[in-house]
Chain A
Amino acid sequence: MNSASIALPATPGARGKKRRVWMSTWALATLLLLALIAGLTLGRYLIAPAQVLEILFSGSAFDARDPEAAMAARVIESVRLPRVLLAAVIGAGLAAAGAALQSLFRNPLAEPQLLGVSSGAAFGGVLAMLLIGDGQPLVIGALVFGMLALAAVFWLAGGKAASRGSSTVLLVLAGIVVSGVFAAGVSLVKLVADPQNQLPAIVFWLMGSLATADRDRLLLALPCVGVGLVILYGLRFQLLALSLGEEDARGLGIRVGLARALTLVAVGLITAASVAVCGIVGWVGLVVPHLIRMSFGTDHRNFLVNVMLGGAAYLILVDTFARTATAEEIPLGVLTALLGAPLFAFLVRRIGHGLER
């Protein structure tokens, strides 16, 4: 009733401003494209960049009589492409999940592992390894127990207190409890696992790696992470409101309970799927959103998109390094922590108290 009666003031440059906002997204999309090209061109199996492009654009129409060319095509199509795409999917997912949780918990240090879903998925994975074997059972076990952990967190934090203001704190506490229980479960499985047969496999998987990436894993991760990302992008405005705190958001007419539940389900799906296909890859959800905030701002229209693009490019680059730097493959989880921690420390030092701005 009020704005209708008021003459609209001129909003100089509103259109121009909008265009400038999306500039960062274009820049990040270009970065992702470059990362994709780098990821597909670099590898231990040497293939000339021109040949890589030829293979990519000619489909499988290579000369089958030339075994060298056939091998190069297979390397690109069944080794590099699934791995690079899986890195992109997981990177985008974990980064967006981190950004969403930071809004939800109103804490710039929140990351997907906080919810206990990682621990749950890790437990499901090692349990499947212990009882059935790795491969498909591991992936399914991780997914099932990851979602189970999420349900446990909901149940613990729910009840009558959920309607009161303290429920975000309760969620964090429930996450810590669930995480602790499942982490103990993982240790227990490690204890009873056959030290020669199963234990090394469990340890390696927990370290996190994309070395086992293939089409099947990509096809399993893609829908889970994809659905999660679509939900999170849809909630971008609700997440902005949630970052003001539950009470204020409720006062603004936001359906806090619903928005929060959807966010958690999306984050849970993404986290469980990523643990299932590549173990625990830490730090991405923490480092990437902050990098994007510092470099490109936080306009809610494209912040989550920027985070997804940045996360995808980041993980592709880190994984490309992990698999090409030495003949020995560096576990991805080790590298993301090794790279993420100092990067984060540098940001903290440089921006200092500006972090909470």
Chain B
Amino acid sequence: MIEMKHEQRSPVSSIVLAGLALAALLASGMAAAEKTTLRDQMGHPVTLPAKVEKLVAIPIPIASMVMALDGSAARLSGINSAARSDIDEGLLGRMFPAAAQISTQVAGESFAPNGEALAAARPDLVIQWGDRGDAIVTPIRKLGLPVLTLKYGDSQWVADWLRITGTAIGKGERGEKLATWFETRMAEAERRAAVIPAGERPRVLYLMRGRSALLVAGKNTSMDGDIARAGGINPASQLPGFAPVGVEQILAWNPDIILLNNFERDMSPQAFYADGRFKGLAAVTKKRVYRYPRGGFRWDPPSQETPLALDWLYGVLHPDRSMPDLRPRISETYLMLYGYRVSEAEIDRILRFDENGQSAHYGKRFGKHP
């Protein structure tokens, strides 16, 4: 997937680079004799500056991913404002207190880059989504900044995010290590789910919105893929993307389990159990409504924490099947990813025990065992 080649500076590229990389030159204070070219996830060749000391990460999960790869927030000079809630409300700010200082002005609505703020952040490299149209990428290129593009969709692609981002910041080895770990754990999850007979797969619905509207995850969403990987069936998998539906449609699907998102405030299983319209739904009568956990990053969208999310999801979907205890896995993984020792209380917070504690099997499955 990753191609690296070393090439001699061509006259053309030197002219282009001379025009472009003023910030890079200022930062590095030297002209590299050799340049590294990296093919990004959209297939564009990107010539990397010799040293990436300042990085802007516009895709939301990349902020925490860079901290995981780097063991620090020092390299980030700009992140998406939506990543800010992981720092303020999630565990990320506790693990990397310096992250609170990073500028969140670099991008606005729908990942549109803010030129002035981007220039002020003086990045050596910008990471951006590549599958949401050129309109959000071209302005960055016009500023003369090298752009690395990633694509959003299946959780499987996170391994490449790790490799590409790792290489870009000069932590290729660490990136490769985390990517391999990620792929091993994904394969493990898939093997674990593959043996489950069709009759024992619960119907699982993910609600991207549950309050202002009902928005379910359909085809080509990471949640759809993750539900299958955890041995569940998504009744909405025929709908395109995140699709609005009516209450009745949910009643007609009658899912066994409902997963709530990490994006809406005041979203909790309790609110769901109390809603008269959903009374009688299998997931409600059996108290199987759960809100996705949130640690260094939200567990519903793809990130370096997705393997933990898949373990959790398997535990929720199949409470009677044996699996390794999740709590020590969280401790190990956080130590490996962030070099951080989580306390038992923090694990309770990650798993949202205050909200999910009332739901079926939760305490037994994920509670602290004496």
Contacts and interface: CB of A to CB of B under 8 A. Distances in A.
Nearest to A209: B213
Interface stretch (B118-126, B165-173, B258-266, B339-347): B258-266
Contacts of B251: 44-45, 71, 74-75, 79
A67 B240 CA distance: 31
B33 interface: no
Contacts of A200: 208-209, 215, 242
A133 B209 CA distance: 13
B239 interface: yes
A212 B248 CA distance: 11
B209 A323 contact: no
A134 B264 CA distance: 10
Contact of A46 (B208, B215, B252): B252
Interface in A231-269: none
B277 A211 contact: no
Nearest to B209: A201
Nearest to B241: A328
Given A74-B280, A209-B244, A329-B249, A191 B212 contact: no
B244 A204 contact: yes
Nearest to A191: B109
A194 B82 contact: yes
B277 A44 contact: no
B8 interface: no
A43 interface: yes
B277 A323 contact: no
Interface in B226-263: 236, 238-240, 242-249, 251-252, 263
A138 interface: yes
Interface string B199-219: 000000000110111110000
A245 B252 CA distance: 54
A297 to B, nearest CB: 37
A181 interface: no
Given A204-B212, A204-B215, A327-B236, A197 B263 contact: yes
Contacts of A201: 209, 211-213, 264
Interface string A194-205: 111101111011
Nearest to A125: B212
Given A74-B279, A78-B276, A200-B215, A195 B82 contact: yes
B101 interface: no
B244 A79 contact: no
B277 A78 contact: yes
Contacts of A209: 213, 244
A329 B244 contact: yes
A190 interface: yes
A129 B60 CA distance: 22
Contact of A195 (B110, B239, B243): B110
Nearest to A204: B213
Contact of B85 (A80, A197, A205, A215): A197
A176 interface: no
A44 B248 contact: yes
B43 interface: no
Interface string A37-55: 0000001111000000000
A45 B252 CA distance: 5
Contacts of B247: 79, 211
18 contacts: A43-B246, A43-B248, A44-B252, A45-B251, A45-B252, A71-B280, A74-B280, A193-B109, A195-B82, A195-B111, A199-B109, A209-B213, A211-B244, A211-B245, A212-B213, A323-B246, A328-B240, A329-B243
Closest 4 CB pairs of A and B: A201-B212, A134-B212, A328-B243, A45-B252
